[in-house]
Amino acid sequence: MNAQIPDCPITCLTVDVKTCARMLGLGMRSTYRLVERSYREQSPLRVLRFGAAYRISIASVVKLVNNSTLEHVEFGG
Q: Considering only residues 11 and 18, tell me which one the structure prediction assigns the higher pLDDT.
A: 18
Q: In the structure, what pLDDT confidence band is assigned to residue 3 with cuts at 50, 70 and 90?
A: low
pTM: 0.73
- Whether the per-residue pLDDT at 72 is higher than 80: the answer is no
Closest listed residue to residue 45, CA positions, set 54, 35, 55, 53: 35
Give pLDDT, residue 45. Answer: 95
For a pLDDT cut of 90, what percent of the chain falls above it? 60
Number of domains in the chain: 1
Q: Residue 35 domain-assigned?
A: yes
Q: What is the extent of the structural domain holding 27?
A: 14-70
Q: Residue 51 domain-assigned?
A: yes
Question: What is the rounded distance in angstroms from the CA atom of residue 24 to the CA atom of residue 30?
Answer: 10
Question: What is the rounded distance in angstroms from the CA atom of residue 44 to the CA atom of residue 33?
Answer: 12
Q: Residue 77 domain-assigned?
A: no
